[in-house]
Amino acid sequence: MPRMVILDGNSLANRAFYALPPLTTADGRPTNVLHGFLTMLFRLEQEQHPDYWVVAFDKTKATVRIEQYAGYKAQRKETPEGLRPQFDYLKEILAELDVPMLELAGYEADDLIAAVTKQAEAQGMEIQVYTGDRDALQLISPKTHIFLTKKGISDVECYDEHVLWERYQLRPYQIIDLKGLMGDTSDNIPGVPGIGEKTALKLLWEYETVEGVLANADKVSGKKLQSNLKEYADQARLSKTLATMLTEVPLPFSLDNFIYRRPQASKVLPVLKKYDLKNVTRLWQERYTNDGETTEENSEMVVQAWSERELSEEGWLTQIEQWQTSREPLTLACRYEGTGLQGGRWLEWGVAVLGESFKLTREEASTQVIKAWLDLLENDKVPKILADSKTVSLLLGNEGTMLKGVVLDLSLASYLIQSSRTKFAPLDLVKEYAPKQDVFKSVSEEAAALAQVATKFKEELHTLGLADLLHTVEEPLSLVLAQVERQGIGIDVDQLKHFGEGISITLRQLEQDIYALAGNTFNINSPKQLGTILFEKLGLATAKKTKTGYSTDAETLEELRLAHPIIEKILDYRQLNKLMSTYVNGLLAQEKNGRIHTTFQQTVTTTGRLSSTEPNLQNIPIRLEQGRLLRKIFHPTEPDWVLLSADYSQIELRILAHYSQDPLLCESFALGQDVHTRTAAEVFGISLEDVTQEMRRSAKAVNFGLVYGLTEFGLSRDLGIPRKESKFYIEQYFKRYSGVKRYLESVVAQAKQEGQVRTLLNRLRRIPELFHSNRTQRQLGERIAMNTPVQGTAADIMKLAMIHVAEGLKPFRAAILLQVHDELLLQVAPEDLESVAGLLKEKMENAFPLSVPMTVDCKVGPNWYDMKAYKPEE
DNA sequence: CCCTTCACG
DNA sequence: ACGTACGTGAAGGGG
């Protein structure tokens, strides 16, 4: 099917103008719109390969709509100074690019777009409309998709009938009714007073159209609303008319004028140069020179439409029966409501296998078919491929169903292949190999597409040596995480509220004190207002750092502590306010039945660590006593059980020792010494007994810095010492620990050669920063190269340990509650405490033996605050 | 929506 | 001369 891409020139130019900083040529002509528009154009051309394309522009004189309504667009501001000339520049460039343009006296871009869309549809084309204007959603059809700019300009979001329905529960034709009711201030479409988006949607869900709403004005709830609907009925109908895009535009030529022609360098490069468009030129060259075209065409796949088979009830039962024994992998797509534990419930399944696809809908299937289907999901002999299996298994769990037999989780696979990715939804995964795929028309098409890219993912996993990591670590771990999330941790709501009340009282007092000291009230939480008070009103020492104003962070304030009594109050206030808003209120908002269930993200970090959200339970305060007290509210979910924690001691330094094989560092761990004291002794050239607390503190900071990629700046800031001194420490360190030095240098060297680093379990991180044009970025790249193998290996080992622990826990009354990077928190029945602690220590220490010993320390207590060291018997 | 600040490993 | 420690998530302000 030929593909037509239509761009709304005015809307996109406006977007670009406001989204981008005011760039200019050397002689001062504005060019930000050119940058934005052309970047988007090139990207779209590369990803979509249009067969036809056109940019539509307004030709505003005496539009048809002004005849209908004098106020139309009356409110619209004059085209801003910097934007107007850019339309001419843009048209000049588009002409050189051989991109067809369309404008017609008396019509807006909108109407031209509608008209072209209609013609193109009639000729059986697939149409994509790019615009920032939501009005265009009315054009959506099975053949027409709308790409709305999100933030900025080149980031777009594809809307089809399904997406529209999911967002608004509206059909495309209702978009004009929506506008009719709520109006549009930017076009000065009045709508009905008092009706915004929320109300308009509610009315349309009930009565479908403006006419339907007006006819039922008596029935709607709310007196004011009723009278407004009656009073402004005509205005609503007029607004709807104004919002309707005109399709009956006399287009003077055929669509053949819009056939895509490949731009020619001889014409394009001069005009890009004329407007100083360096970045755009670079994009152009990447796209059209050095045979980018051919290699890309070769690697790009197109998803085939698999035949979709409809099954009768009998058909389903026999088919499921066959799948139960065929051993053929089923690729599954699941549509659901809610999110995992939060009210997750499946609605539809897509199944793809052997070139055929199927759709199972909850509403339509008989109970018998559903039962057979769920049995199939629970059969671990039936191999399954799907994306984000953790969420799917959690939502199935809500209704007592298990998901077993997952042999490939595509989201996790994609994360290992490209850990810097941020999107892992099915469509994003498919687009990775089939960039032309913009949308799934059905859940069965989704499954078929996933099945086809699954092959590519498997190839890629093997090429990169990541299959083992996926199958032996990430996939089994996702099952463990699902259990942990469902389990949740116990929390004492009353105690938390009480804690919050205490804080509130102090907070109110501090607030009053601060206002008194400042001489007036202001918003203490606003760095901007606070900066004004401190540095202008009170005239405190000129701010140390600025970026978008005065810096008021704790580090800056700490230096001003003695300068004014208000500083200390503000620091206290900040600390307590953080506790109150993030922790007290944040946790209370998440509590359900005395428990909190976090979500562990397994595809977020670039190093392989987990992250925790909604709420984040990996950053519960511990460093300061005031915050640490909060840990009292976390307790086991079972009465009389206890919390058991186990944390790796110095795991990252041990990994560094293993990698570097530095004799001193290895010896230190082999002998079970305090590694910071030993480091101090080496750096200061004294015996262990002579190391002071101060020296140990310095050495500890050096050790800390090592894993981050040590810098003089960082160390001097951390220890509050001059750069000279930190430089000295680092030199001394590397003199004694020359193996560490050699190792770190070799990691960086290898990373620069390969553009990537790996962890012990082969986890991969690419480091484009190493080749960045900016020196700071390149240095960051070097630190990443030093840090990632260490941090990532620690993550690998912990993940492996979690899998072994979860397995070993089965005979016992115990459960994992949390993972905090180098710590596991469990709850255990007292009678199993000793066995479980022994098991925990054993599994964690031996998860992946290194050339230096691993040490795990256990603690036990009734809550997460009152934890006492616990040594299980051997 | 981006920035600042601050909580953790 | 510049600007930096590595990896995260949440809340609040303000454009």
- Domain-embedded: residue A124: yes
- Domain-embedded: residue A759: yes
- Confidence bin at A603 (pLDDT 50/70/90): very high
Closest CA to A108 of A306, A231, A247: A247
Mean pLDDT to the nearest integer, A315-327: 96
Domain tally for chain A?
4
- Domain-embedded: residue A837: no
Estimate in Å the CA A868 to C1' C11 gap, whole number: 33
Quote the pLDDT of residue A72.
54
- Confidence bin at A203 (pLDDT 50/70/90): confident
Quote the pLDDT of residue A548.
74
- Confidence bin at A290 (pLDDT 50/70/90): very low
Cβ neighbours for A106, distance < 8 A, ≥ 6 positions apart:
A59, A61, A62, A63, A64
- Domain-embedded: residue A298: no
Q: What is the CATH number of the domain that holds A533?
A: 1.20.1060.10
- Tell me: cis bond preceding A615? Omega within 30 of 0 counts: yes
Estimate in Å the CA A525 to C1' C12 gap, whole number: 7
Q: What three-state secondary structure class fits A575?
A: helix
Residue A615 C-beta-side C-alpha neighbours within 13 Å: 20
Q: Residues A532, A446: one domain?
A: no
- Domain-embedded: residue A223: yes
pLDDT at A596 over 60: yes
Q: Residues A122, A243: one domain?
A: yes
* Cβ atoms A77, A30 nearer than 8 A: no
Quote the pLDDT of residue A331.
98
Quote the pLDDT of residue A616.
92
Q: What is the CATH number of the domain that holds A359?
A: 3.30.420.10
pLDDT at A104 over 80: yes
Estimate in Å the CA A743 to C1' C2 gap, whole number: 28
Q: Tell me the percentage of chain A whose pLDDT exceeds 70.
A: 94
pLDDT at A527 over 90: no
Instruction: Please state whether strand B lies within 7 Å of residue A749 at its CB atom.
Output: no
pLDDT at A69 over 80: no
The span from the first CA to the last CA of chain A, in angstroms, equals 70
Domain that holds residue A533: 490-596+604-633
- Confidence bin at A135 (pLDDT 50/70/90): confident
Q: What is the CATH number of the domain that holds A674?
A: 1.10.150.20
Quote the pLDDT of residue A217.
81
Greater confidence, A39 or A664?
Answer: A664
Whole-angstrom Cα distance, residue A182 to residue A203?
11
Q: Residues A105, A201: one domain?
A: yes
- Confidence bin at A297 (pLDDT 50/70/90): very low
Segment (H or E) for A178: helix A175-182
Estimate in Å the CA A283 to C1' C4 gap, whole number: 29
- Domain-embedded: residue A843: no
Q: What three-state secondary structure class fits A343?
A: strand
pLDDT at A196 over 90: no
- Domain-embedded: residue A814: no
Instruction: Please state whether strand B lies within 7 Å of residue A544 at its CB atom.
Output: no
Whole-angstrom Cα distance, residue A791 to residue A781?
15
Give the nucleotide at minimum CA-to-C1' distance from A613.
Answer: C9
Greater confidence, A562 or A641?
Answer: A641
Q: Residues A363, A399: one domain?
A: yes
* Cβ atoms A130, A147 nearer than 8 A: yes
pLDDT at A154 over 70: no
Strand partners, A496: none
Estimate in Å the CA A711 to C1' C6 gap, whole number: 12
pLDDT at A698 over 80: yes
Q: Residues A512, A465: one domain?
A: no
pLDDT at A803 over 90: yes
Quote the pLDDT of residue A83.
82
Residue at a domain's end among A222, A242, A258: A258
Q: Residues A685, A712: one domain?
A: yes
Quote the pLDDT of residue A148.
86
Q: Measure CA A257 to chain center.
A: 41
Residue at a domain's end among A212, A234, A258: A258
Q: Tell me the percentage of chain A whose pLDDT exceeds 90.
A: 57
Estimate in Å the CA A195 to C1' B9 gap, whole number: 49
Q: Residues A231, A96: one domain?
A: yes
pLDDT at A683 over 90: yes
Closest CA to A162 of A130, A140, A177, A179: A140
* Cβ atoms A4, A137 nearer than 8 A: no
pLDDT at A294 over 50: no
Q: Residues A465, A504: one domain?
A: no
Q: Residues A483, A497: one domain?
A: no
pLDDT digits (tens, 9 = 90+) for A383-419: 999 999 999 999 999 999 999 999 999 999 999 999 9
Q: Which nucleotides of B are covered by protein (CB under 7 A)?
A: 1-9
pLDDT at A296 over 70: no
Q: Comparing A203-217, A307-321, A431-445, which segment has the lowest mean pLDDT?
A: A203-217
Greater confidence, A742 or A231?
Answer: A742
Quote the pLDDT of residue A266.
73
Instruction: Please state whether strand B lies within 7 Å of residue A586 at its CB atom.
Output: no
Residue nearest to nucleotide C11 (CA to C1'): A582
Q: Residues A321, A394: one domain?
A: yes
Q: Comparing A245-254, A510-519, A853-862, which segment has the lowest mean pLDDT?
A: A245-254
- Confidence bin at A544 (pLDDT 50/70/90): low
pLDDT digits (tens, 9 = 90+) for A467-501: 999 999 999 999 999 999 999 999 999 999 999 99
Strand partners, A860: A644, A868
* Cβ atoms A37, A30 nearer than 8 A: no
Highest mean pLDDT among A504-518, A553-567, A771-785: A504-518
Q: Residues A615, A678: one domain?
A: no
Helices (H), A591-631: 625-628
Quote the pLDDT of residue A259.
86
Provide φ and ψ at A420, rounded to 5°. -90, -5
Residue at a domain's end among A764, A792, A820: A792
Highest mean pLDDT among A400-409, A434-443, A714-723: A400-409
pLDDT at A292 over 80: no
Q: Residues A215, A157: one domain?
A: yes
- Domain-embedded: residue A855: no
Quote the pLDDT of residue A295.
37
Tokens representing A752 are: 């620069």
